[in-house]
Amino acid sequence: MKISKVTIKDVAREAGVSISTVSNALNGVDVLHPDTKEHVLKVAKRLNYIPNLNGKNLKSSATKVIGLFITSLKGPYYDQLVDAISKECEKFGYELNIFITKNDRTALSNILGKRVDGAIISNEFIDEMDVLALEKAEIPIVFIDRERVSKTSASVVFDSYKGGQDVARYLINLGHKNIGYIRGYDHLYDDIERYAGFRATLEEAGIGFNEENLLVGYFEEDASFSAVKAFVKSGKELPDAIVAANDLSAIGCIKALKSEGILVPKDISIISFDNIDLSEYFSPPLTTVNNPIIRLGKLTVESLLGIIQGKTEGKLEKLQGSLVVRDSCSLNKNVLIR
């Protein structure tokens, strides 16, 4: 049934040489007579020989592949991130291998199971203990969802805390005092940091936060839509402004408001994070904190390759964003009147 696969042995037999010679010819170890090398290569090609990677990686454990372990690829944020990472890997001659997984075991088993030379991890489900195991095994890793540094593991993150501060300050400067917040997932680095920065800044400014105005949108458009819709329907007093944990949430939020006849930014200001492409041509164009996703992706790969090649040790890099002002926020009406 199963067609017998052509192995290095077959090539050796067909070419009339030993398997070591074939291996050397194929891997460019410059020790062979040019004629034999050429001959072997020709035979290998004729037989359509393709090396078994399991055999190969079993012996010489450099796979030349880096693994990206991520919980989801959905949405424009990951689009950009993955694209940047992929391009950068290609540039350096590494293969990228993406694993979508919420299950930390598949990550562990693929990383420690030596299918990759190094890993990029954006997977909050890998818990502290497993991270420790990875560090102990001294496998090159870059985290983009947590701050974690060792000799062989680095972190590249967006300075979300600073982002949270920025949006809070911006809204405060516009005269807003009653500010709501739509969180994403409260176990995610970016969500935690953004919210923390926001709250801290409010506190510094002596402005209170009404816990009733804290919604949850799971970084998604639909969930945010529902949450906001429900809030409005409940008849509670609307805040002057709302911070959304990411642009997608802001979009869901604005759509919900719109469906209830509430206008942005006239009746309420909305501000968010990421600056995805869509935020520019959504109506209204979103005021948002630019997240340098592409640079983050590039740096991640560079950092990882540095560790893999033994050139650098793990370190923490925190990338700064900047506020992109568009049309979704306006001065507080009360301030205007005053």
Of 133 and 324, the one with the shorter C-beta distance to its own copies is 133
Residue number, 73 or 325, with CB nearest to its own copies = 73
Please state the closest distance from residue 123 (CB atom) to DNA, in A: 23
Contact in structure between 211 and 238 (CB atoms under 8 Å): no
DSSP 8-state assignment for residue 95: E
The residues of the shown chain that bind DNA, judged by CB under 7 A, are 5, 7-9, 16-21, 23-24, 26-27, 29, 31-33, 35-37, 49-52, 54-56, 58-60
Beta partners for residue 244, in sequence order: 182
* Shortest spacing between CB 308 and DNA, in angstroms: 16
Residue type, 251: I
Residue 17 or 81 with smaller CB distance to its own copies: 81
Which of its own copies, DNA, none is residue 278 near (CB under 5 to 8 Å by kind)? its own copies
Min separation Cβ 132 and DNA, Å: 20
CB of 243 to DNA, least distance (A): 48
Name which of 28 and 206 has its Cβ closer to DNA. Answer: 28
Of 115 and 298, which has the nearer Cβ to its own copies?
115
Residue 83 tokens read as 């694209």
Q: Is 6 exposed, middle or buried (0-12, 13-18, 19+ CB in 10 A)?
A: middle
Query: Is there a contact between 63 and 57 (Cβ–Cβ < 8 Å)?
Result: yes
The site partner of 263 among its own copies, DNA, none (C-beta below 5 to 8 Å per kind) is none
- Among 125, 138, 136, which Cα is nearest to 99's? 125
Q: Which does 230 bind (CB under 5 to 8 A by kind): its own copies, DNA, none?
A: none
Residues constituting the chain? 338
Q: By three-state DSSP, how is residue 109 classified?
A: helix
Rounded to the nearest whole angstrom, what is the least distance from the CB of residue 28 to its own copies in the complex? 16
How far is Cα 335 from Cα 120, in angstroms, rounded to an integer?
Answer: 47
User: Pick from DNA, its own copies, none: which does 233 bind, CB < 5 to 8 A by kind?
Assistant: none
DSSP 143-165: ESSS----SSEEEEEE-HHHHHH
- Burial of residue 232 (CB within 10 Å: 0-12, 13-18, 19+) is middle
Contact yes or no for 82/31 (Cβ under 8 A): no
SS3 content of the chain, % helix, strand, coil (to 5): 45, 15, 40
Tell me the closest approach of the beta carbon of residue 104 to its own copies, in angstroms: 12
Question: Binds 138, which of its own copies, DNA, none (CB < 5 to 8 A, cut-off by type)?
Answer: its own copies
141-143 vs 118-122, strand pairing mode:
parallel
Among DNA, its own copies, none, residue 28 binds (CB under 5-8 Å by kind): none
| Burial classification of residue 113, based on how many CB atoms lie within 10 Å of its CB (0-12 exposed, 13-18 middle, 19 or more buried) | exposed
CA distances from 331 to 170, 266, 268 (A): 10, 9, 9
Binding residues vs its own copies (CB under 8 A): 1-3, 5, 48, 50-58, 61, 72-75, 79, 82-83, 86, 95-101, 106, 108-110, 112-115, 133, 136-138, 255, 278, 281, 283
CA distance 234 to 236: 6
**Residue 109 near which of its own copies, DNA, none (CB within 5-8 Å, type-dependent):** its own copies
Q: Provide the minimum distance between the beta carbon of 2 and DNA in the complex, in angstroms, as a whole number.
A: 10
Q: How far is the CB of 29 from DNA (least distance, A)?
A: 7
Phi, psi (degrees; rounded to nearest 5) at 297: -60, -45
Picked from DNA, its own copies, none, the partner binding residue 338 (CB below 5 to 8 A depending on kind) is none
